[in-house]
Chains A and B, each alone.
Chain A
Amino acid sequence: MRPAGQRVRMGQALIVLTGVLFVALIGRLVYIQTVLRPELSAWSEQYQFREIVLPGRRGAILDRRQRVLAGSRESPTVYADPLLVGDHAEAAEMLAPALNLTPGDVQKLLDKPTSPRYVVLKRHLTPMEAEAVKALGLDGIGLQNEPARTYPMGELAAQVVGFVSSDGGGLDGLELAWERHLRAVSGKRIVHCDAGRRAVFSKPDSFIPPKNGLHIVLTIDAAIQEIVERELAKQVQARQAESGVVLLLNPQNGEVLAMANYPSFDPSTPNLFPVEHRRNRILTDPAEPGSIFKPFVMCAALAEKLARPEEIIDCERGAFRIGKRILHDVHSYSGLTVAQIMIKSSNIGMAKLGLRLGNEKMHSHLSDFGFGQPTGIDLHGENHGIFMPLRRWNSYTTTSVPMGQEMAPTPLQLGVAFSAIVNGGRLYQPRVVRAVIDKYGNLVEDHSQPVFRGQVIDPEVSADVCDMLKRVVSSEGTGRACIMDRWEVLGKTGTAQVPARNRRGYEPGAYLASFMAAAPASDPAVVAVVMIRKPKGAPYYGGTVAAPVAKAIFEQVLPYLNVPPDKPDAASVRLAKGGASGH
């Protein structure tokens, strides 16, 4: 047995040792709780918490009757937690065939993830791909749904609606122009996870709700758009033409009712189509208009009182020399009234009106119609058209512009200016968007009011030119292919040569057949601009290629819009005659 003093010393030593250990332990705890705390908390949270992204829904694009042209649905995305995936190479080998990717691509994503515990392997899986991934049952591989853009009406109005990128941002058309309104903002929720990374608790105050995008309502009517696209496609195919466009406007307020381009594309898979198919040529492609431009110069001549409709002008029997240049008419005429110049589409007659006007007045009036300036439509990518400044106009221009040469407006500029001729001289800004609404249908922004840009001609001048244009669409005019039984139509045909690429002059045998019309003539409800580029074979005139398209469209669109006929129809006339003879 040890002496009592030794036992006391050992006891003391033990107490001291224990004290030192306690102090060390407390010191370590303090160190962990203070210095290491942020690092350890972050490490711990990485395993305990999970952020769940709550994607918002992008706004829809609706037609004027609220039919969905572009909407959103959910589609599966496959993601991986690289730390939980055991053997990356083996997992890649198994996943690649299910995802239609190469094993190398999958392994690269697993080896070099964008964030340590989350990497997207593939978005927008087909149902079959999603099933195949699910069937593999691999650890660390999961499926989640994300919103994907969908176009339930397929190619309908594709160039107007546009398309989005793989991450859902607008890239073209309305999707791009109205991105600010359509875009959704994702929300999030942070959850406590169990050992299997399954959500158990929501972290208090961590919920941020997603913000859905706003819907935009268009002036375009899907039913009218479908009629227009069908008739355009039919004619372009029948005439083996290169392409075609049709624009339908309400001339009384500038609303675009339809905007069709052919060939078109599927906005769900834009990358599979050439850029030319995706372009809205109505806004972007200026073209020498040819004779459909004559009504604008006629307006200028009448407004300046330099001509009267019944005045006779010598049309030089089909050939007119001005300086070194000789102008020709398709048919030779000696004397034509000013109205007949329009009806017969005489180049010589129009050139003489151009000479009376002079460059300054002509340029000023055409500028008033909006040529050379953007129309201000609520879409991206509008071209200003080609309309040279007055200082670059010369003596050739004086006689070229009245025939629709040496300048190139876009079909939209033509449609907007023609609307001003037929509505009594009021120029309106064209519009595609009518309103912005929220998901409950409440109005957020109202764009339904017409945007008036000015009175460009007097109503009397408008009436005189409309009278001429009515006779163009009669048995004596070039637009007779658009004569209808129940409605009177006014319009102007045009056949322009297509400029050659990479050299001066025109491409031989290449024409732009066009027709610009309004119906009913008594109070126009619809203006149509039809342009068919490079129809094959003869006849290639606007009156034979483009006018029938306008007629087919009017025949379906006017009853759809409940526009009353302004001409006694054939049946009524027959009935009236029958009744009269019976008495």
Chain B
Amino acid sequence: MTMPRIVGVLSALASIGIAVVVLRADQARHARQIQKLHIEQQQMHQRIWEQEMEMARLRSPRMIRERAERLGLADGKNLPNLAPPPSVDD
């Protein structure tokens, strides 16, 4: 094997090595990004759940009645008017 060939093979091997390292680093960076997105997704889920429960609490007939009474809009007997509309199958 001539010297130029040896140099060529070594260069190719070095390039492959560098490419592997670069790709591996890139993969690690993306994996880290995915992990961050997973965590964000979980946090969003958590926020949705919190909001859903808060909405459920605010839809409670007792809450509606109390707020209506505080605002002077209705007494207890007017609750039916404050209720949400019936669902389709009702």
Contact = CB atoms under 8 A, between A and B. Distances in A.
Interface of A: 57, 64-68, 71-74, 145, 147, 150, 152-154, 156, 189, 191, 198-202, 222-223, 225-227, 230, 448, 555-556, 559-560
Contact of A560 (B49, B83, B89): B83
A61 to B, nearest CB: 11
B55 to A, nearest CB: 8
Contacts of A67: 56, 59-60, 84
Given A57-B49, A153-B57, A559-B80, A226 B65 contact: yes
A223 B61 contact: yes
Contacts of B79: 223, 226-227, 556, 560
Query: Chain B contact residues: over half helix, strand or loop, or mixed?
Result: helix
Interface stretch (B1-9, B10-18, B26-34): B26-34
A327 to B, nearest CB: 43
Listed from nearest, the 6 A-B pairs whose CB atoms lie closest are: A68-B56, A560-B80, A152-B56, A152-B57, A226-B61, A74-B46
A76 B75 CA distance: 40
A200 B57 contact: no
Interface residues of B, number: 32
B49 A200 contact: no
Nearest to B60: A153
Contacts of B46: 73-74, 145
B69 interface: no
B86 interface: yes
Main secondary structure of the interface of A (DSSP, over half): mixed
A74 B84 CA distance: 27
A230 B89 CA distance: 27
A172 to B, nearest CB: 21
Given A72-B49, A73-B49, A153-B57, 16 more contacts: A65-B84, A65-B90, A67-B60, A71-B53, A74-B49, A152-B53, A152-B59, A153-B61, A154-B62, A200-B31, A200-B32, A201-B31, A202-B35, A226-B79, A227-B61, A556-B76
Contacts of B60: 67, 152-154, 156, 222, 226
A150 B46 CA distance: 14
Contacts of A147: 49
Contacts of A64: 87, 90
Contacts, number: 90
A73 B62 CA distance: 21
B70 interface: no
A223 B83 contact: yes
Contacts of A153: 56-57, 60-62
Contacts of B57: 152-153
Contacts of A71: 49, 52-53, 56
Nearest to B34: A202
Contacts of B42: 145
A560 B81 CA distance: 8
A126 to B, nearest CB: 15
Given A68-B52, A145-B46, A201-B31, A226 B62 contact: yes
A555 B54 CA distance: 30
B80 to A, nearest CB: 4
Nearest to B65: A226
25 contacts: A65-B86, A67-B56, A67-B84, A68-B53, A68-B59, A73-B46, A73-B53, A74-B49, A150-B53, A152-B59, A153-B56, A154-B60, A156-B61, A200-B32, A202-B35, A222-B61, A223-B79, A223-B80, A226-B62, A226-B65, A226-B79, A556-B76, A556-B79, A560-B80, A560-B83
A15 to B, nearest CB: 28
B40 interface: no
Contacts of B27: 201
A222 B82 CA distance: 13
B61 A200 contact: no
Contacts of B53: 68, 71, 73, 150, 152
